[in-house]
A and B are shown apart, each in its own frame.
Chain A
Amino acid sequence: DAEITQSPRHKITETGRQVTLACHQTWNHNNMFWYRQDLGHGLRLIHYSYGVQDTNKGEVSDGYSVSRSNTEDLPLTLESAASSQTSVYFCASSSRSGGTDTQYFGPGTRLTVL
């Protein structure tokens, strides 16, 4: 069955370190998204991509970057981790359409920045 996976599931790091969170999907979806989930805020969009070599900034992109070298993967990098980036991160994907297609979510990565 097609799926979307994230790794690691849990990560503890220190302030100032670079961290990369992996997202891999086997749906063959063109669209991929990164969100962060914080209490009282729901999910907020960090970055998104509509295909290979395409990346776009979302609402809360400062301090994060992504790259899309193939269809299956969209890694999220925290250039210099900050305590404010302690959160649960979700990756999602959807097929190419006019925005009506369902997004499928990964299981999430819980990141703690000390």
Chain B
Amino acid sequence: AQSVAQPEDQVNVAEGNPLTVKCTYSVSGNPYLFWYVQYPNRGLQFLLKYITGDNLVKGSYGFEAEFNKSQTSFHLKKPSALVSDSALYFCAVRDDQAGTALIFGKGTTLSVSS
């Protein structure tokens, strides 16, 4: 069965420093991976996805993610964090048992201090 894990409940980083939010996955076939961000009292916003091709995926708001097949990871990164990046981040993988639905990790709260 497909699954995704976000090992950190919270990540704290100072503004201007690089940030990484970790995600590992388990799939039986090809991994289709996604990152979403959720601001307080809002819905989820799409950041980026990996389907195939280049292992470094670039997305919205300066975020990128690195797909690593051997480590089954899909970590979200940003070279220089902003206070406005503080939010809840979800990694997700396509659920092969439910067609095109997604299986989400539990989420990681990113806190960027000024």
Given contacts A42-B90, A42-B105, A42-B106, contact A101 B43 (CB under 8 A): no
How many residue pairs, one in A and one in B, have C-beta atoms under 8 Å apart?
A: 66
A75 CB–B CB distance under 8 Å: no
A100/B43 in contact, CB under 8 A? no
CA A33 – CA B98 in complex, angstroms? 11
A78 CB–B CB distance under 8 Å: no
CA A90 – CA B42 in complex, angstroms? 10
A25 CB–B CB distance under 8 Å: no
Interface string of A52-64 (1 = CB under 8 A from B): 0000101100000
B104/A48 in contact, CB under 8 A? no
B34/A102 in contact, CB under 8 A? yes
B51/A100 in contact, CB under 8 A? yes
Interface string of B35-58 (1 = CB under 8 A from A): 010000111111001010000000
Residues of B with C-beta under 8 A to A71:
none
CA A103 – CA B101 in complex, angstroms? 9
Interface residues of B in 12-35 (CB under 8 A from A): 32, 34
Interface residues of B in 76-114 (CB under 8 A from A): 90, 92, 94-95, 98-107
B34/A101 in contact, CB under 8 A? no
CB-CB nearest in chain A for B6 = A42
- Rounded to whole Å, the gap between the CB of A68 and the closest CB of chain B is 14
A22 CB–B CB distance under 8 Å: no
Among candidates B32, B45, B98, B107, residue contacting A58 with C-beta atoms closer than 8 Å: B98
Q: List 15 A-B contacts (CB under 8 A).
A: A31-B99, A33-B102, A35-B104, A42-B90, A42-B104, A42-B106, A43-B90, A43-B102, A45-B95, A45-B101, A45-B103, A50-B99, A94-B100, A105-B43, A105-B45
Q: B-contacting residues of A (Cβ < 8 Å)?
A: 31, 33, 35, 40-45, 48, 50, 56, 58-59, 90, 92, 94, 97-108
